[in-house]
Each structure stands twice: as C-alpha cells, then as structure tokens.
Amino acid sequence: MNNKSTIILIAVVAALGIAYYLMTSLGEAPSSNPIPSSMQGELLFKDNGQPISGSDITKIVVEKRIIDKPIILEYKDNVWQQTSPVHFPLDTKYTQELFSVISNLRISESFKPGQAGSPSLAETELDEPIAKIAIILKSGKTYNISVGKEIKVGGLAYINIAPKDNILVTTNVFQQILTTAEPKNLWAGQVNIPSVSQLDQFTIQTSNQTPITFYNKNGDWYINPQATERANSENIDLLFAQLSPLKIQTPANEIRLSYDNIFTPTNTAAKLSFKLSDENYVFTIGPAADLNKQRYYASLESPMTSGNAIFTIPSELTDLFDVPSADWRDTRLFDINPELFRSIDITNNKGENILAVGYDPINAEFRFLPPAPPFKIDQQFANIYINSLFQAQGSAYINDASPTSEILATLIAKQYRTKKAQIVDVYSYTFDESQTIHWIDEEDQNENDLKYMALRKGESIGYLLTESQFQMLQLKPLDLRNRDILDLANDLPQKIQLTRGGRSYSFIRVNQDWALEGSSNKFERRDFNTLLAALSPLRAESWLSYSDKIRIAPINTDVTITLSYADQKQSNVIRIDTKTNQAEIQSVPPLTGRFKLPKHFLELLEKEYSNRTVLTLYPAQIKSLQINNNTITRDNRGRYYFNGQVLKDQSTAAKLINTLASLQASRYFNSLPKGEKATDTININLVDGRTYKLELFTLGKFLPENAVLYPPVPAQPISFSLPGEIAQQFTESYSKLTGNNE
C-alpha cells in the first residue's frame, strides 16, 4: 500500500473510531457532559443547511505556529496544487478522497470552554492553537478552524469554528494530514516537462563539464547558434523521452536541509534549463538521497512547480546526463532515420554516377535507380549497406574545416516526409599540425591513417576518414548485385552431380527422396542434407565481374556441380576453382559474371558423400595382426601377445585392434599417385582364415594420411584418406607397443 492510500485509510479508520469511542465510553473523556442529542453525530460542515461534498472545496489554508509561511492547497487551472510554501501539483484522486473525508466529519461532542466538568480553553490549547485552517468553498463560504490539543484515546482533537465559541471534538484529520511541514504525501507522482519538439533551445550543465546550449533550426539540433555543428539528436530524444513525464517520489525521510544546502555547486550533478512561452524551466539534479545511490534529490522550477519543492528521481535518469560532452555532438556523416530512407545517389568528381539506390515502401524492396545496371539488387546486403551508411562516422573531426582540394565524391541522401536532401562532399586530406584533431575513436589515433575529409553542405565540421571508411561509402553496383546464384527451394532439380578429382557423385531424386547412384542407397545423408541447405539458396560472397565479356583470366575448374531438371534439356552447371574460391555458372536463364564463393561452402565440397565405412569387424573376429615385422596375437583366454610375449599392458593392444576393426574414410580416391610407398603394412588375419591387407602412407609427415585396403578377393582395393583421429590412435598405440618391447 502506498503512502497516499495509507493516509486516506487512517482518516477513514479514525472516523470509525469515533463511533467505537461513543459506544464504549472508554479512555480520557474530554468532559463529563454527554453530547446534546440535537448535535450528536451532526456533520461538522454544512453550506446553507445542506451537507457539502469534497468537490465543493476549492481551497485550504493552513497556518501553523511552527512555520512562517502558510500551507495552501487550491484548485486552479483545473488542477489541485499546493501553492505555498512550495508550489507542486497534487494528485487529484487522493486529494478529492481526503477532502471527501473532511466534508463528512461529524461532531462527537460540543461544550462551552470552562463549563463545569469540561476542559478549559488553555487545557484544550485552543487559546494558542497548534494550527489555524481556512476551508473555502465554491459558494464563497469560509470555515475558519482552530486546531487544539490532540486527544490520545480515540484519535480525536479539540477544534473551534469561528465565530462560535463552542469547543468541538472530532476526528483528528487536520493534525494527521494538514499540519505536517508539507503535505508531500498528496503530491502527484509525476510532473510534465515540455517535449523537446516544443523548444527553440535548451542548456545542459553537469558538474564536470562546461554548459552546452542546443539550438533548434527547422527541426534539427545544433550546438552553435550558426547551426553549423550538429548535435546528437538520438541522445537528445532519449533524454527528453525519460523526462516527459518526469516520474518522482517524495523523500522517504524529512529533509532538514534547505534547497541551497542541498543543491550547492559541488553537489549539483546536472542542470537542464530552457524557456517556453516566456516561462522558465530549470530541472536540477543534486546528490544521492540514499547510501546505495539508487535515488537522487531533484527539483523543478516551472509554471506548476517551484524550485524549492524537493523530490527524488531514480539513478538511471541521472546517468542520462553523465555522458562525455562529445556524445552530445553528432559525429555521423548523415542524420537520417534508415526507416525513412528514400534514396542515395553517389557521383564522382566528374559528375558521373557511381551508385544510385532507392527504396520502394509499397513493395518493401530496394531498387537500383537510373542509370540502372542490368541485374537485380541484393535486398539483404542493400539493407545492411543503407543502415551502416547512416551510422557511418569518421575517425576524427576538425572544426572550421576548409577544403584544400577538389571534390572526390558527392553523396546525396533523401528521406520520405521531407523535401530536404543531405549532401556530403568528400575531399582528400593531408594532416596539418596547425589543426586540432578531435578523435572519435580514442583507441586508434594515427594521423597518417586519415586520408579523406567529409563535409556536409552548410556545416563547418570536417569528418576525417581512413581509406577503408571512404571505400565503404562509395560502393559500386557490383557490390550490391543480388548474391543469390540459385535456390533449390524455388526450383528443385531431378539430379545433382558433384565431380571432383576424377570422382563423381550423382544424387537422384526418386519418390521425393534422394539416393546416391551405385551405393545401394547407403551414403552420408547428414552431410548431403547440409549441402542441400547450402544450395537453398547458394549465395556468393561477392561478385568479381558482371559480364562474361570482361577480360579476366580463365577459371581453373577442379570441381563441378551439375543440376539437371526433368523439364529442361539444359542443365545448370557451376564451375569452381577451389584454390581461388572463384566460380561461374552456366544457367537458364543466363546469369553472367564471375563470383567468389564463401569458405564454408567450399568445405562442403571436400566432404565424402559415399558411405565412409571402409571396414567393420568385431574384435573377436580378428585372430592376429601383422604390422611390418611385428605380430600381435590373442589366445583362447583373450590375452594379447606381442611377438610371442604376453603384454603387461593389455589395453594398448585392445585399443589398436579396435581402431583397425572399424575403419572410416575421410575421402575416397580412384587410386593413389604412382610412386608412393607404404610406410606401414598391416595384415589383419581373421579367425575364419580370411586376411585384409592395409597399407598406410605417411607422405613425409608424422601421422599417416592415406591408405589402401585390400579385401579378400574378388573385392577390389579401396583407396582413401584416413580421418585424423584414426591416424592418431593407430600411431600412439603402435608406438607404445614397439617402445615397450623392442
């Protein structure tokens, strides 16, 4: 339950306490005389004989003997406000509820001062009242109330309503609520600060920075009155979004310090000031209001609030002001919302068009603008480019920039809902020691890297660019060409053939499923599914040319992917040079030009798609191994022998046999190159009398890479490359055996 609800509840409970008090007659009785029957339970306030309601009250003035200025609550400009000793809007709902309780107060007792058996005027402290309260109604009638001593039992108090001299006893609402230092519990939980769009200028000052004044010119913000140095509109919008409305809390504890003592120059963390309609607004943030620095003291001077009305705000709001002064400056080359992008036009120093791209919001797509190239634009990369373009900034900037060279390129950006175009000219730049360079990137400061300067029309700040930053600005149409080479999701072929190194893999689609020719339907389906996904779509990493007529070195094809379709006589053929990652496609319809494929796709082309299981045996099937001049045997009890001697470490022999019993291939070959000699020869002798011969080829390295398996006749030899883990396991186990027994 919040403080305001608690206050109303106290008032209601106190009123109910009267009834309980009268029924029980317990506690300290204010007099020995009962209430006259004509007055018992009578309403305290009436207007022309009729009960008043909370909405009839328009003003309450409280004068206390312990404060100099009265507390004034009044309804003006359709809002309940406290107007003295501080000015602050009140929560209308809780104020009306409180005043409704006041208007329904009833008399519990009435007596004449000094009457026999009754307290004297001095005993009720009405001779020097604790407070004097004026309640003013819409009708103009005023109730002048003196509040005396509080009766501890029953939550009651002595009061007097002038001009009568009767002493009345009623619920102590006035003491509990209106006679505190300030009725902060009735303050509104938020106050309004004008939106930034209403302002012509404003100033921000923090404890560690000089004041910065922002100027509005035609909806754009600048940090100088000449409007040549742009401000960071995003940070400005973020700040005012948190201030409109400004959510506040009243201090948890009573503030014993004055405004001047709290908001000293050293304690003031930040200050925001501006003028609107000849009214001053000053929002001040002071020191932390708690040890954990979760909330900070603050005040707002405005038409509805006085600066000496102190409240607290969350620390997150304070953090919005605690930014480096450079963050209030817009260091981007363009100040355009990407969502409102209309077009970008880039020309060189001869006025020739380098790139022209527009956005069609109806169809939600980017398009090349005239003179348009003869191919589609890549929607994904164009979106990345446009967003990065409008976030682009230099590495540093200089004030009062003056170009000393001819324009290298001009960028013209337009946005929807405005006719204004933003024009940026780019010049070459040579470092001049007389200039003061302001670095945007504090980590990388090398003046020699600054090769270009970008300058917006009508502005004086020159943004200094590196070579890579400049190249990113002036992409060519080829850079934005649609990178989708083909897409199996749109047009699924009947057959996919992968040819490499003299081997060919033909995958045929049969009954909505895929099969590998000549494999009795056994192949590495998971890797093939990954290849299908990479072709749906196949995207180029970049385009190298847009026409086959451009003279470039012929492609050295070592991998070919052929896609055949049931309803087309001509297939789509992709020719790939895996050494350079370059490729071309012969397709229907034609897609001219050479492109570069991403590395992850080329890795898929290196995989073995046939069933990679070369040999599968149970260890119990193996009677002995003959490796070069060494022999491993096993007796009927399962003990392993190495060259006739029982092995102390039986696990090493078992690991070696398990490795050779289940062989996998990384790649298959038609045959190994002639002239290669085996570094290890292994005969795997089975219990049934058959023998598998395995030759390993190390090729000058520590681990064997290739192998040839000679199955029992009539099977043909199998040439393949060994997976690294199998080669590692064989080498470690065999070396351990020979090292222990030689």
Q: Tokens at residue 39, please?
A: 């007055």
Query: How far apart are the C-alpha atoms of 346 and 333, rounded to whole Å?
Result: 14
Query: How far apart are the C-alpha atoms of 122 and 98, rounded to whole Å?
Result: 30
- Phi/psi region, residue 89 (left: phi>0; alpha: psi -120 to 50; beta: rest), is beta
Q: Is residue 153 part of a domain?
A: yes
Asked if residue 619 and residue 529 are part of one domain, the reply reads: no
Q: Tokens at residue 35, please?
A: 């209430």
Q: Is residue 152 part of a domain?
A: yes
553 CB-near residues (< 8 Å, 6+ apart)? none
Q: Tokens at residue 661, please?
A: 């019993």
Q: Is residue 386 part of a domain?
A: yes
Query: How far apart are the C-alpha atoms of 41 and 105, rounded to whole Å?
Result: 9
Which residues sit opposite 481 in a β-bridge? 377
Asked if residue 491 and residue 591 are part of one domain, the reply reads: yes
Q: How many residues does the chain have?
A: 742
Which tops the pLDDT comparison, 125 or 567? 125
Nearest to 156 by CA among 144, 148, 165, 164: 148
Cis amide linkage into residue 163, ω under 30° from 0: yes
pLDDT value for 205: 93
298 CB-near residues (< 8 Å, 6+ apart)? 248, 283, 284, 285, 286, 310, 311, 312, 313
Q: Tokens at residue 733, please?
A: 């186990």
Query: How far apart are the C-alpha atoms of 370 and 11, rounded to whole Å?
Result: 77
Pair 119, 129: CB distance under 8 Å: no
Q: Report the CATH number that the domain containing residue 263 is assigned in CATH.
A: 3.30.1490
Alpha helix (H) residue ranges in 68-182: 92-103, 173
Count of beta carbons in the 10 Å neighbourhood of residue 49: 5
pLDDT value for 673: 73
Asked if residue 500 and residue 459 are part of one domain, the reply reads: no
Query: How far apart are the C-alpha atoms of 486 and 490, rounded to whole Å?
Result: 9
34 CB-near residues (< 8 Å, 6+ apart)? 109
Q: Which of 186, 216, 246 is the last residue in one of the domains? A: 186
- Phi, psi dihedrals of residue 604, rounded to the nearest 5°: -65, -30
Asked if residue 563 and residue 446 are part of one domain, the reply reads: no
Q: Is residue 197 part of a domain?
A: yes
91 vs 98, 139, 195, 690, CA distance in Å?
A: 11, 23, 22, 97
Nearest to 558 by CA among 532, 583, 534: 583
Asked if residue 490 and residue 471 are part of one domain, the reply reads: no
pLDDT value for 9: 44
pLDDT value for 270: 94
Asked if residue 385 and residue 425 are part of one domain, the reply reads: yes
Pair 587, 535: CB distance under 8 Å: no
Lowest mean pLDDT among 110-119, 175-184, 294-303: 175-184
Q: Is residue 334 part of a domain?
A: no
pLDDT value for 39: 53
Asked if residue 199 and residue 283 are part of one domain, the reply reads: yes
Q: Is residue 393 part of a domain?
A: yes
Which pTM does this prediction carry? 0.65
Asked if residue 122 and residue 94 are part of one domain, the reply reads: yes
Q: Which of 186, 221, 256 is the last residue in one of the domains? A: 186
Asked if residue 216 and residue 82 are part of one domain, the reply reads: no
Long-range pairs for 74-83: beta carbons < 8 A, 24 or more residues apart:
79/304, 81/304, 82/182, 82/183, 82/186, 82/187, 82/309
Question: Domain range for residue 512?
Answer: 484-605
pLDDT value for 5: 52
Which tops the pLDDT comparison, 368 or 520? 368
Most confident of 63-77, 453-467, 518-532: 453-467
Which residues sit opposite 427 in a β-bridge? 407, 453
Long-range pairs for 551-554: beta carbons < 8 A, 24 or more residues apart:
552/594
Q: Is residue 601 part of a domain?
A: yes
Q: Tokens at residue 489, please?
A: 């999701």
Asked if residue 174 and residue 67 are part of one domain, the reply reads: yes
Q: Is 24 exposed, middle or buried (0-12, 13-18, 19+ CB in 10 A)?
A: exposed
Asked if residue 364 and residue 282 are part of one domain, the reply reads: no
Q: Kindly tell me if the per-residue pLDDT of 193 is higher than 70.
A: yes
pLDDT value for 99: 85
Q: Is residue 333 part of a domain?
A: no
Q: Kindly tell me if the per-residue pLDDT of 598 is higher than 90.
A: yes
Pair 440, 449: CB distance under 8 Å: no
Nearest to 282 by CA among 189, 216, 202: 202
pLDDT value for 177: 61
Asked if residue 432 and residue 505 are part of one domain, the reply reads: no
| Identity at 357, one-letter amino acid code | V
Residue 733: pLDDT band with limits 50, 70, 90:
very high
Structural domain total, the chain = 5
Mean pLDDT of the chain: 86
Q: Tokens at residue 244, please?
A: 């409109």
Q: Which of 576, 605, 634 is the last residue in one of the domains? A: 605
